[in-house]
Amino acid sequence: MTAIEVRGLRKAYKNHEVVRGIDLDVARGEVFALLGPNGAGKTTTTEILEGHRFRDGGEARVLGVDPGTAGTEWRARIGIVLQDTDDAADLTVREMVQHVAGFYPKPRPADEVIGLVGLEEKSRSRIRTLSGGQRRRMDVALGIVGRPELLFLDEPTTGFDPEARRHFWDLIRTLAAEGTTILLTTHYLDEAEALADRLAVLAAGRIVAEGTPAALGGRSSAGATVSWREDGVLRSEEVPDPTPLIRKLVAAETDLSTLTVSRPTLEDTYLNLIGAHR
């Protein structure tokens, strides 16, 4: 039931090792996010798993096959949305989707794909006339047209406006509900939290934390900060469990209209993790 299995993955460019012994497992049907700053090794790792780049060391199995030696039959089972793509700018959106669909044994209908990415009104427009966000939607369309078992998404919502991002999130949830395994890299932590079943944080070529968004880096067991205003003064206390303090404030008939309880956000946890490994 494992879609991706990686052990001791390594990759260097000249004398600089950018991937330094990664171990990783992604279950079939899982949405898994890779997080990390620029240069952490996310894109290199993804490209190795896609079969676009050879590894220097370690083992990798993707859908049961070594991506370094995989053939066309295996490639028809995966979908890829790269960070940067070149396309046939003079083709229309529909023509391009139909063209790429021809490479797969059982593609989605072109009009269905165009609707899924929200480009219905642009289906007859030439690709060169699309905005940056619309071209990114086009990239996603080409990544899903083949009904992939495993979909790689490398920074897929770059250039999307907020409405388009939410539409994309709905699409990812639909694909996941259909059983598609998804490996996502993103700089948007709200996106990772909204979509990922699990995630891993890469820093300096190594995985420094892995888990569910709620539990990453000890978030689920972290203490809480309780803040309230008393006699016009803002007060704040950090406590392991906020319940006893809140009961105490209630018993003292403290005005709780301004009370807030907060725990470390995913962003807080992420910044602490990468800051500790710079």
Which residues are within 8 A (CB) of 212 and not within 5 positions of it... i.e. 6 or more apart? 197, 198, 199
Which residues are within 8 A (CB) of 33 and not within 5 positions of it... i.e. 6 or more apart? 184, 185, 186, 191, 192, 195, 196, 198, 199, 200
E strand or H helix that includes residue 248: helix 242-251
| Domain locations along the chain | 2-217, 223-262
Quote the pLDDT of residue 102: 93
**For the chain, what's the residue count?**
278
In the block, which residue shows the tokens 């891993």?
A: 200
- 212-219: long-range pairs with CB below 8 Å, 24+: 213/266, 216/266, 216/269, 216/270, 217/264, 217/269, 217/270, 217/272, 217/273, 218/269, 219/263, 219/264, 219/266, 219/269
E strand or H helix that includes residue 64: none
CATH class of 2-217: alpha beta
End-to-end CA distance of the chain: 35
Measured CA to CA, the distance from residue 67 to residue 60 in angstroms comes to: 7
Q: pLDDT tens track of the chain, all 278 residues? A: 899 999 999 999 988 999 999 999 999 999 999 999 988 999 999 999 999 999 999 999 999 999 999 999 999 999 998 766 666 778 999 999 999 999 999 999 999 999 999 899 999 999 989 988 888 889 889 999 999 999 999 888 877 888 888 888 999 999 999 999 999 999 889 999 999 999 999 999 999 999 999 888 877 777 788 999 988 889 998 888 888 999 999 998 888 888 998 888 888 889 988 887 76
What is the signed CA dihedral for 25, 30, 109, 132, rounded to 10 degrees? Answer: -80
Indicate the pTM of the whole model. 0.85
φ, ψ of residue 158 in degrees (nearest 5): -60, 125
